[in-house]
Amino acid sequence: MGTRRLPPLTKGQVSIYHPAMRAVSPVELAVVVSIAGSVLAASVPTFVRHVHASRMTEAVDGLSKIGAGAIAHAQGKELAASFPPPAELTPKDVPRGVAAEDPPGTWDSPTWQALGFRFDVPHRYAFQFDVVPDPSRIWFQATAKGDLNGDGILSTFALAGERRVGEQAVLIPGIYIEREVE
């Protein structure tokens, strides 16, 4: 029995056959497929979780910027004027499952201007700023709402700060989070 010969290659063809190659047995193929499946099963959920977490940084970073703007705004002002007036949810409709680009003027309200806060790029969260005066203190709450997966159920992130009579404005430690990867 002689060596099996393949037909000659024509111009432009490339041979993938090598005399030392052998066929893969069904058991070897099953082992390779099971290992690849195990690697995917372990890594895909982690990857998805990290993608969602990276999208959450927009909310946390936005709230941090609003908080810093509110603290800076309070410097040298009377207690009642420490923080700018409330601003309703901006944009009014929370982006659903996509990054949304705002029409011109969305962030031009006096409150967002005073806080130095705006988006010039598409984003996934809407933000709100509330102020509650009290005779002994004034406090604010900045809120971010998002719908990362587009199911209509919102994630909520909130940061608060206050200023008491005779004291400097401070952020209240911690961020409230409800349904973080919604």
- pLDDT tens-digit series, residues 4-31: 666 676 776 666 656 666 677 777 778 7
Residues in a beta bridge with 96: 147
pTM of the model: 0.69
Cα dihedral 60, 63, 68, 73, rounded to 10, equals: 180
pLDDT tens profile 103-121 = 998 899 999 999 999 988 8
Cα pseudo-dihedral 116, 119, 120, 121, rounded to 10: 150
User: What is the domain partition of the chain in residue ranges?
Assistant: 58-178
Give residue 26's pLDDT: 77
The greatest distance separating any two alpha carbons of the chain, rounded to the nearest whole angstrom, comes to 103
